[in-house]
């Protein structure tokens, strides 16, 4: 079993739709969690960190469920510009800053 697993996707949604991605992790000692966005042929960029209490940034909401060991990303009112691959990353807490990334979920928002 992979240490970090994401919904396989791809997700194809119309503009204005709400879409949610999940990411499960196997190490219960994991401490920090992140969502990154990667555009085609570009480098990943941090979208948002995921806090225990959940956090929201505009149309994006990230949540952490430690009991079930997963994080989620909710995108409301999808825009064409949201089309990208979304990578989750989990930091185990050892070896300062070494995160494990999921394989990514590809989102395509269509007009």
The answer to whether 61 and 18 are in contact (CB under 8 A) is: no
> Collapsing DSSP states into helix, strand and coil, what is residue 82?
helix
- Binding track over 64-103 against other proteins, x by CB under 8 A: -----------------------x-x-x---xxxxxxxxx
100: number of Cβ within 10 Å = 16
Does 34 bind other proteins (CB under 8 A)? Our answer is yes
Window of 40-48, 56-64, 65-73, 74-82 that interacts with other proteins by CB under 8 A: 40-48
What's the alpha-carbon Rg for the chain, to the nearest Å? Answer: 14
Does 59 bind other proteins (CB under 8 A)? Our answer is no
């Amino acid at each position: 079993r992979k240490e970090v697993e994401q919904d396989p996707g791809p997700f194809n949604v119309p503009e204005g739709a709400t879409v949610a991605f999940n990411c499960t992790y196997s190490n219960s000692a994991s401490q920090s969690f992140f969502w990154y966005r990667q555009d085609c042929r570009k480098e990943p960029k941090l979208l948002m960190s995921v806090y225990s209490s959940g956090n929201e940034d505009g149309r994006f909401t990230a949540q952490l469920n430690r009991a079930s060991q997963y994080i989620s990303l909710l995108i409301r009112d999808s825009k064409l510009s949201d089309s990208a691959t979304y990578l989750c990353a989990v930091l185990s807490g050892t070896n300062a800053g070494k995160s494990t990334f999921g394989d990514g979920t590809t989102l395509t928002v269509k007009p």
